[in-house]
Amino acid sequence: MSRLRWITLNSSEALIREGEDVIQGLEQTPKTLPCRYFYDDRGSQFFEQICDLPEYYPTRTEQSILETYASEIAQLTGACELVELGSGSSRKTRLLLEAYSQFSDPLQYCPIDVSAGILKTTALELLHQYPKLKLCGLAGTYEQALDQLPPAELENRMLIFLGSTIGNLSEAEYQQFLDRVRKALQPGEFFLLGVDLQKDPAILEAAYNDAQGITAAFNLNSLSHLNWRFQGNFNLEQFDHWAFYNTTEHQIEMHLRSLVTQTIALEALAFQTTLQAGETIRTEISRKFHLPALVKTLETYAFQPLQVWTDPNNWFGLLLCQRQCISDECP
- Please report how close the Cβ of residue 219 comes to ligand AVJ at its closest, in angstroms: 7
- Please report how close the Cβ of residue 284 comes to ligand AVJ at its closest, in angstroms: 6
Q: Which residues contact 189 (CB under 8 A, 6 or more apart)?
A: 80, 156, 157, 158, 159, 322, 323
Say whether residue 63 binds ligand AVJ (CB under 6 A): no
Which helix (H) or strand (E) element contains residue 170?
A: none
Say whether residue 215 binds ligand AVJ (CB under 6 A): yes
Closer residue to ligand AVJ (CB): 47 or 234: 47
Q: Which residues contact 322 (CB under 8 A, 6 or more apart)?
A: 188, 189, 190, 191, 303, 304, 306
- Please report how close the Cβ of residue 187 comes to ligand AVJ at its closest, in angstroms: 29
Angle in degrees, CA 323, 315, 183, rounded to 5: 20
Nearest residue by C-beta to ligand AVJ?
286
- Please report how close the Cβ of residue 35 comes to ligand AVJ at its closest, in angstroms: 7
Say whether residue 221 binds ligand AVJ (CB under 6 A): no
Contacting ligand AVJ within 147-166 (CB under 6 A): 163-165
Integer Cα distance of 52 and 65 in angstroms: 16
- Please report how close the Cβ of residue 40 comes to ligand AVJ at its closest, in angstroms: 14
Say whether residue 286 binds ligand AVJ (CB under 6 A): yes
C-alpha dist (Å) from residue 154 to 30, 80, 151, 239, 286: 46, 6, 9, 49, 34
**Do 258 and 239 touch, CB atoms closer than 8 A?**
yes
Q: What is the DSSP string of 205-222?
A: HHHTS-TT-HHHHHHHHH
Longest dimension (CA), the chain: 64
- Contacting residue, 22, 26, 33, 50, with ligand AVJ by CB under 6 A: 50
- Contacting residue, 43, 111, 137, 167, with ligand AVJ by CB under 6 A: 167
- Please report how close the Cβ of residue 285 comes to ligand AVJ at its closest, in angstroms: 8
Say whether residue 61 binds ligand AVJ (CB under 6 A): no
Say whether residue 208 binds ligand AVJ (CB under 6 A): yes
Closer residue to ligand AVJ (CB): 32 or 165: 165
Say whether residue 284 binds ligand AVJ (CB under 6 A): yes
Q: Give the total residue count for the chain.
A: 331
Number of residues this chain uses to bind ligand AVJ (CB under 6 A):
11
**What does the CA dihedral 144, 148, 153, 154 come to, rounded to 10 degrees?**
70
